[in-house]
Structure 1
Amino acid sequence: MNHAHSWVHAFQDRLDLAPFGSAGLALFALALKFGYDDVASIGIDAVVDGPDDRSVDLVYVDRDQRLAVVAQSYVANTPKGQAKASKAATLRQALSYLIEVDLESLPERLWPAASDLRSALAEGAIDQLYVWFVHNCPSSRNVSNEIRTVGATVTSMIRAHFENSNIDIFADDISSEVLEQLYTDTNTPILVNDKISFITHTTLSFEEKEWQCVIAPIKLSDLKSLYTSHETRLFSANVRDFLGMKAGDSNINHQMQKTISENPQNFFIYNNGITLLTHGVDVFDVPNGKRIDAHGLSIVNGAQTTGTVGTSEIEPPADAFVLARFISTKSGDLIGDVVRYNNRQNAVTASDFRSTDSIQKQLVDQMKRIPNAEYDGGRRGGVSAAIKRRPNLLPSYSVGQALAAVHGDPTVAYNEKSAIWSKDALYSRYFNEQLTARHVVFCYGLLKAVENEKNELRKREHNHEKLTKADIAKLEFYRKRGAVLLLCAAIGECLETIADRVIANRFSLTFGEKDSPEDAAAYWQPTVKAISGLHAHLEKAFSDGLKNQEKVRETLKNFSQIVATLRAPFAEFFKSVENKLS
């Protein structure tokens, strides 16, 4: 790899991505672009690997953020030359298999990914599809041209097979330079550092110890000029770039265009306004009004408004305005909060709104007493935190999923990981007064043990080691979307058999206070290896894509009864957990 780029060092430090091989680079790009701090867990389901993957390395469907990513990843040992355009071209084949080819004809390892993507498209569950060629080589015109062609091809495929689909498609060459820019952006929230002046009628100013805020109407013509000069660099601290426009009453950007054209004076009262983060803001009196000097800026909320105004063919009249808030602060933590709380539409930040909850505070305090464990209590640090290696971190969303699975709700764990945090009924089911950090470690350790077993099987296959028929069948089970969480739930249903005692309340189950999450995963490992061998008895749960709660619960109940009949021969496997339970 090219060590001249700082992103390379950050990527190499992510040892948790090493088991995914070159696909780890695509996962790293996910962290850079979208701020996921649990990409290693995401990779367990999302990475497609093997000799018959049909040039698909990663398929990730995020129904919470309403986006999907399809990526091919390539890591050159000597990345000084250009990546091969032919390598990028194979993405067309990849998308054809994922979207067009009959499911019954697909390779076993590709079927779950294709089924997941198609169902999301058919249900209208995603608004954006990202098609990436991720590599560590320099950008080249040949690759860029090929990716552009791929984007056009994918658009045609989706229109042909999903007539009612109305999604934005972004086909991108994620080269070394792009990775460097994404990495730089995560550490530099404001990329436009010019002094930019706005003339306005009046201003309203607020100032606290850590921040200053100026509120004022600014001209749409000034906003248009700003976008013309700086384009998407304006959105460096925003969770979303400008998404473009589609004709139709349902698209808000199209409606803003109509307002600019037909009723620009009312834009001010129709629009929610924009929020700008700046290094500093000054206000001066000028004839007939005020002048605002912003020393660098990034639009943290209002990318769609700015992009729509900026790309409009119509020059807004002088009397058309939009409300603007200029916020200045030197506090890094406060900058992160401003970005998060000004982007409430981003479902991946649902946990942020629980971070001040008394239960989360209690868990954070308790976790400090557990060795090699770190927990943020639902508070996410944004993209810059997501790409830093924190080997002891228990990511909030993974914790929520582990709790939901062990407590019998794998459908919630897999399909509603954001809703666990955003819906009061779900949140209180798992994060309640009975929950302790030690129980979190108990459940999270099980999740990691299952993930570790899948990774170990993947690694052995990748290294061309001979797998037994039983291991091949187990790996085929693990490749089904949601299989890891389903197995966690199945083991949760067997806890009385494993512990050889009546369990009135699963929340009471813990390991010792001095047992780390890594210790917990090790305790679980023999039990996971034994019980996962019975995976064939869980297959019925996948008949509806792990969505039918009644069928899943019936499957789990039957599974636990089968394991109960095998208590004696499985006793040795269970002892590592049984002896450590408290």
Structure 2
Amino acid sequence: MDRKFTFLNDFEGQKKFKEDYKDNALLLYALQLRFDIEDIDAVAADALTDGANDKKCDLIFVERELGVAVVAQSYNKVNPNMDDTAKGNKASDLNTAAAWVFKDEVEKVPSTIRDAVIELREAIKAQEISTIYFWYVHNLDETKNSIVEEEMYTMQEQVQAVVDTKYSSDSIRISAMEVGLNTIQKWYDTSTRRITIEDEIDVDCKEGFEIQTDKWRSFVTAVSGKWLRQLFLEKGEDLFSGNPRSYLGRGRKNTINSGIITSVQEEPQNFWVYNNGVTALVNDFEYDKKLLIKGITIINGAQTTGAISTPEEIQIKDDFYIPCRFIVCSDKTIIDSIINNNNKQNKILPSDLRSNDKQQERLRKEFKKYSDLFYNGGRRDDKKVRNKVVFDPYFVAQTLLAYHGDSVTAYNGKQRIWEDDKLYTSIFMDQLSAEHIIFVYSLSKAIDTFKNKLRDKGANRTETENKQIAFLSKRGSKMLLIATISSCLEDLIGRKINDKWKLSFKNNSDFEQLKEYWEEIISIIISFNVNLGPALEGGLKNKELVKEKVQSVKDIVSSFKNSYSKMLETIINEIEY
């Protein structure tokens, strides 16, 4: 394969990742790059379909906060050559997947993807999804086969027509994408450097002025709205390679974008005074009556740029002007601070506002003693981390809350945990240690591994294992399982636990080993999936029902507690009380 695809060095170096996910590894790698996912294993456990009877759908990923969903099908050619082309029938496969996703009778949707489809539909109904991507992911060069591109375009038009009819008031964009080596390389470049568009570009703007310090220099002006619109239509989301967010669309939660469009249509002459403007990083600029920039990424103003550029939503008659700053800076620390501070006036993620909290500072320092583990405590300006176990702060908070008794809020309140002061302080308190986080998070990851092993068995699963994978495919099952194991732990290990917050492993040097310690306990509790199943009907929502079902399992486990001590001797000896 052509080594111009430098990301392959990174991908091929992740041997365990490839072993764990096999034909889905490249798909997950692409997903991680595109949406900056920290804990891809946790996402994979929920997003990957069973593989059997998946109806041409390998993955359904729903991210409400970003307003996106991905429905994907993957293909991996064994020992590919430079001139090999991707199979051309994948667009029709994605059409099949789309038919199931938007089928009226949800009860007829195959059970392996039904819960994911329900979650996506609920997010659409709540107007939390603005873009649905249909991906055909493969390990070949997209430029070698124009037939696939044509089929993907046709598929996009067909699905868009269905969605426009079915969800006429929700303004949902369908994007069918062939994600081959070229696209993945582009996303890899975006993840490793701020500016991916390196062209020389003439800027249509008013006169301006330059400000300079020893660390940076900037040209301040007002750019033509028509020029910025055309730039976005040509460059697409590459224009936001250094931005924490891309364009969010016009859903219920993005009314500001609707306001931008209205201003352009009705009062273009006043747009300059209504809008906060755009900030862009560039590699260099020159001004001599005309402004020339070299390279660009918009780090603040993605919503303005996207809103004025949505072709089907706006007709621009008169030009208008937008305040704009072009900044040149080579100091990475300053660049990170520029990006961070330019986005603070907008709501990015709740964890951003907690990242400097004293508890997060303390936990970050505690994690530094473990060289193979990484926890950023919500601080997103840290560099990319490779070859370490990354503790995603959102999943950390969710698993801790589930372990300490509230699986319903843990599953449904991913953002709320960080926004609500009472919830946040009930988890991130002085008693919480890095070691306890490792203890609980390793349980969560062990459940992911358990599910992946069942998925890999496919048609070789026993009837009991089919029931287990069906349970684990239900929305909220992992949080329910964590809460149940926590509730039963005393009876399982046969020891009094005075303070659950002090539980940890004696030695945290080998995270994979910690996951293995949990395997027997997971095997025991998953056998009660029939007892727990009713708590997941319609999603994990009813706290009283959850309490009742967890207690029923606890009662059964308690009656057999004398039988478990020998079976669980290994983990019992490794727990620090």
TM-score, scaled relative to structure 1 = 0.87
Looking at structure 1, the residues matched to 190 and 176 of structure 2 have their Cα atoms a distance apart, in angstroms, of: 20
Deviation at 1:351, TM superposition (A): 2.6
Structure 2 residue identity aligned to 1:70: V
Looking at structure 2, the residues matched to 336 and 249 of structure 1 have their Cα atoms a distance apart, in angstroms, of: 27
Helix, strand or coil for the counterpart of 1:540? helix
> Structure 1 pair 122/259, CA: closer, same or farther in 2 (3 Å)?
closer
User: 2:471, 2:477 within 8 Å by CA — same for their partners in 1?
Assistant: yes
Pair 1:330 & 2:330 matched: yes
1:74-473 equivalence runs, <5 A: 74-77=75-78, 78=80, 80-100=83-103, 102-139=105-142, 140-190=145-195, 191-194=197-200, 196=202, 200=206, 203=209, 205=211, 207=213, 210-213=215-218, 215-220=220-225, 223-224=228-229, 226-227=231-232, 232-242=237-247, 252-253=256-257, 255-280=259-284, 294-309=293-308, 313-314=315-316, 316-317=318-319, 320-343=320-343, 349-370=349-370, 372-380=372-380, 385=384, 389-461=386-458, 466-473=460-467
Structure 1 residue identity aligned to 2:177: D
Looking at structure 2, the residues matched to 272 and 220 of structure 1 have their Cα atoms a distance apart, in angstroms, of: 13
Helix, strand or coil for the counterpart of 1:238? coil
Moved more, 70-79 or 499-508: 499-508
Looking at structure 2, the residues matched to 308 and 369 of structure 1 have their Cα atoms a distance apart, in angstroms, of: 46
Equivalent position of 1:519 in the other structure: 513
The count of corresponding residues between Structure 1 and Structure 2 is 567
> Structure 1 pair 227/568, CA: closer, same or farther in 2 (3 Å)?
closer
Helix, strand or coil for the counterpart of 2:71? strand
Helix, strand or coil for the counterpart of 2:361? helix
Deviation at 1:280, TM superposition (A): 4.3
Deviation at 1:52, TM superposition (A): 1.1
Structure 2 residue identity aligned to 1:352: D
Structure 1 residue identity aligned to 2:542: N
Helix, strand or coil for the counterpart of 2:429? coil
Looking at structure 2, the residues matched to 103 and 272 of structure 1 have their Cα atoms a distance apart, in angstroms, of: 44
> Structure 1 pair 106/345, CA: closer, same or farther in 2 (3 Å)?
farther
Residues 420-454 of structure 1, C-alpha deviations (whole Å, 9 max, x = no match): 33433322121111100110111011112211211
User: 1:538, 1:556 within 8 Å by CA — same for their partners in 2?
Assistant: yes
Looking at structure 1, the residues matched to 117 and 540 of structure 2 have their Cα atoms a distance apart, in angstroms, of: 15
Deviation at 1:559, TM superposition (A): 2.5
> Structure 1 pair 147/199, CA: closer, same or farther in 2 (3 Å)?
closer
User: 2:131, 2:173 within 8 Å by CA — same for their partners in 1?
Assistant: yes
> Structure 1 pair 122/231, CA: closer, same or farther in 2 (3 Å)?
closer
List runs of 5+ in structure 1 lacking aligned partners: none
TM-score, scaled relative to structure 2 = 0.88
User: 2:217, 2:327 within 8 Å by CA — same for their partners in 1?
Assistant: yes
Looking at structure 1, the residues matched to 217 and 209 of structure 2 have their Cα atoms a distance apart, in angstroms, of: 13
Deviation at 1:567, TM superposition (A): 1.0
Helix, strand or coil for the counterpart of 2:9? helix
Pair 1:31 & 2:43 matched: no
Helix, strand or coil for the counterpart of 1:110? helix
User: 2:203, 2:227 within 8 Å by CA — same for their partners in 1?
Assistant: no
Residues 245-279 of structure 1, C-alpha deviations (whole Å, 9 max, x = no match): 79x99855454344334322210222121111123
> Structure 1 pair 529/176, CA: closer, same or farther in 2 (3 Å)?
same
User: 1:33, 1:182 within 8 Å by CA — same for their partners in 2?
Assistant: yes
User: 2:535, 2:549 within 8 Å by CA — same for their partners in 1?
Assistant: yes
Looking at structure 1, the residues matched to 123 and 232 of structure 2 have their Cα atoms a distance apart, in angstroms, of: 33
Structure 1 residue identity aligned to 2:567: F
Looking at structure 2, the residues matched to 475 and 296 of structure 1 have their Cα atoms a distance apart, in angstroms, of: 49
User: 1:237, 1:300 within 8 Å by CA — same for their partners in 2?
Assistant: yes
Deviation at 1:299, TM superposition (A): 1.0
> Structure 1 pair 375/252, CA: closer, same or farther in 2 (3 Å)?
closer
> Structure 1 pair 114/242, CA: closer, same or farther in 2 (3 Å)?
closer
User: 1:64, 1:347 within 8 Å by CA — same for their partners in 2?
Assistant: no
Helix, strand or coil for the counterpart of 1:569? helix
Looking at structure 2, the residues matched to 327 and 50 of structure 1 have their Cα atoms a distance apart, in angstroms, of: 48
User: 2:265, 2:315 within 8 Å by CA — same for their partners in 1?
Assistant: no
Equivalent position of 2:69 in the other structure: 68
Looking at structure 2, the residues matched to 59 and 282 of structure 1 have their Cα atoms a distance apart, in angstroms, of: 46
Helix, strand or coil for the counterpart of 2:112? coil
Looking at structure 2, the residues matched to 400 and 306 of structure 1 have their Cα atoms a distance apart, in angstroms, of: 34
Residues 311-367 of structure 1, C-alpha deviations (whole Å, 9 max, x = no match): 6653544xx432223333223344344445545699774333332222122112222
Residues 384-429 of structure 1, C-alpha deviations (whole Å, 9 max, x = no match): 72xx632333232332222122112223333332333343332212
Identity %: 30
> Structure 1 pair 539/344, CA: closer, same or farther in 2 (3 Å)?
farther
Structure 2 residue identity aligned to 1:13: G
Looking at structure 1, the residues matched to 397 and 37 of structure 2 have their Cα atoms a distance apart, in angstroms, of: 15
> Structure 1 pair 12/334, CA: closer, same or farther in 2 (3 Å)?
farther
Looking at structure 1, the residues matched to 518 and 253 of structure 2 have their Cα atoms a distance apart, in angstroms, of: 54
Looking at structure 2, the residues matched to 379 and 397 of structure 1 have their Cα atoms a distance apart, in angstroms, of: 12
Looking at structure 2, the residues matched to 24 and 460 of structure 1 have their Cα atoms a distance apart, in angstroms, of: 17
Helix, strand or coil for the counterpart of 1:324? strand
Structure 1 residue identity aligned to 2:76: V
Moved more, 254-263 or 185-194: 254-263
Looking at structure 2, the residues matched to 200 and 210 of structure 1 have their Cα atoms a distance apart, in angstroms, of: 26
> Structure 1 pair 19/258, CA: closer, same or farther in 2 (3 Å)?
same
- Equivalent position to 1:542, from 525, 536, 545: 536
Pair 1:558 & 2:561 matched: no
CA RMSD, Structure 1 to Structure 2 (Å): 3.1
Equivalent position of 1:40 in the other structure: 41
